[in-house]
Amino acid sequence: MIVDLPETTVSKISRSLVQMREQGGAVALGRVLTLIIQTDAKSAEAAIEAANAASREHPSRIIVLVDTDTGTDPRLDAEIRVGGDAGASEVIILRAYGEAATHPQSLVLGLLLPDAPVVAWWPNAAPAVVSESAIGKIATRRITDALSQKDPAEFLEQLSESYSPGDSDFAWTRLTLWRAQLAALLDQPPYEPVESVEIIGDLNNPSVLLLAAWLKVQLDCPVRTEHREDTAGVKGVYLVRLFRNGSDIEILRDQSNVATLSQTNHPPKDLSLPVRSLRDCLAEDLRRLGPDLAFEKVITSGLPLVTGLPK
């Protein structure tokens, strides 16, 4: 069910939510968090679709702040979606104009679920310092996407300098499967130290930089990167080689969903290593409502060690 509320107020939106729950039987019980999405009109529906899918794992109230032209007369338009139009959540879409758009915090405070964590997500352009932004100040978890920024590498460097516990980025979340595979391989014999690492991938993709930073921190060895354009649906990381004294490890992903594992004295083996969707990344980040200590170490300590690597 979708209800439009043109030229409305926050209090009217709250009353409408109560009426819709009473009339339609939709309840807010079981909602585990409030997800605030701040995005532009072009990306709003894709973000809502991903949030609705993720809400089946994390039932939530989703508040979407759609950026509009602030040069018009002050006005607040809203849209409420519940039931089949909102997955396992309830979606409130806010479009503020003029003076009303300059105070996003006041628009959402009256709509937050009581005693529930607040997660903020910027699917595209994000504030320079998310923890100090109007929405970031009320969120315990703040999710950005460096890949969607004008200069992804510069954004990561800014995030490294301004990091605050609770910050997260999809460039890191997209590496979860890579990190799991590499960690599992190094947990198997022979337990030889890694002497050096080579990473080939699209160096315009921030995930490549973060993988290099993670391996630098974890293995404390030289890490070399080489640029390769994305091809055949391969995003970011194309190949990782770990050089050891007696045996080497290589993971090559030259397809979008399958990688080939090669090890010294072992036959090649196929691995499932799909490119992660927006829904997968969001669902994973919502599982952790506290600070991600691994990401904190990589972004603050590891990234400065690799941003000057030869390309």
Note whether 24 and 158 are same-domain residues: yes
pLDDT digits (tens, 9 = 90+) for 11-32: 999 999 888 877 765 544 567 8
Domain match, 155 and 10 both: yes
Q: What is the C-alpha separation between 199 and 239, in angstroms, rounded?
A: 6
| 306 falls within a domain | no
Domain C-terminal end among 104, 134, 168:
168
CA distances from 135 to 245, 247, 287 (A): 50, 49, 20
Q: Is 264 a domain residue?
A: yes
Q: Give the C-alpha separation, 79 to 101, whole Å.
A: 16
Task: For residues 231-257, give the mean pLDDT.
Answer: 87
| Same-domain pairing of 158 and 10 | yes
The answer to whether position 296 is within a domain reads no
237 and 127 in a common domain: no
Residue 48 domain-assigned (yes or no) = yes
**pLDDT (0 to 100) of residue 224:** 95
> 3-class DSSP state for residue 247?
coil
Any residues with CB less than 8 A from the CB of 188 and at least 6 apart, and which? none
Same domain, 47 and 152: yes
Does residue 71 share a domain with residue 188?
no
Domain count, the chain: 2
Of 168, 194, 212, the one marking the end of a domain is 168
Strand order from edge to edge, sheet including 223-227: 223-227, 194-201, 237-244, 249-252, 258-263, 269-272
Q: How far apart are CA 156 and CA 92, in angstroms?
A: 30
pLDDT band at 232 (very low <50, low <70, confident <90, very high): low
CA distance 244 to 264: 10
Band of the pLDDT at 1, cuts 50, 70, 90?
confident
Ranges 28-37, 45-54, 198-207, 245-254: which has the least confidence: 28-37
Cα gap 108→68, rounded to integer Å: 16
Q: With a cut of 90, say whether residue 88 has pLDDT above it.
A: no
Whether 44 and 99 map to the same domain: the answer is yes
Q: Residue 268: pLDDT band by 50, 70, 90 thresholds?
A: very high
Identify the pLDDT of residue 256: 78
Residue 78 lies in a domain: yes
Among 156, 159, 253, 144, which Cα is nearest to 204's? 156
Q: Which of 106, 138, 168 delimits the end of a domain?
A: 168
Pick the range with the lowest mean pLDDT from 75-84, 237-246, 285-294: 75-84
Do residues 184 and 51 both lie within one domain?
Answer: no
Half-sphere exposure of 104 (CA within 13 A, CB side): 22
In a domain, 88, yes or no: yes
Task: Tell whether 311 is covered by a domain.
Answer: no
What pLDDT score does 24 carry? 61
On whether both 203 and 122 belong to a single domain, the answer is: no
Q: Is residue 16 part of a domain?
A: yes
Report the pLDDT value the prediction gives residue 20, as an integer from 0 to 100.
81
What does pTM read for this prediction?
0.92
Residue 189: pLDDT band with limits 50, 70, 90: confident
> Is 311's pLDDT higher than 50?
no
Regarding whether 265 and 147 lie in a shared domain, the answer is no
- Indicate if 201 and 125 belong to the same structural domain: no
Q: How far is CA 301 from CA 45, 172, 209, 273, 297, in A?
A: 36, 15, 13, 27, 5
Domain span at residue 16 reads: 2-168
Average pLDDT, the chain: 90
Q: How confident is the model at residue 146 (pLDDT cuts 50, 70, 90)?
A: very high
Same domain, 231 and 96: no
Query: Which is nearest to 82 in space by CA: 13, 10, 141, 32?
Result: 13
Q: How confident is the model at residue 83, as a pLDDT?
A: 76
Q: Which of 50, 60, 52, 3 is nearest to 28 (CA)?
A: 60
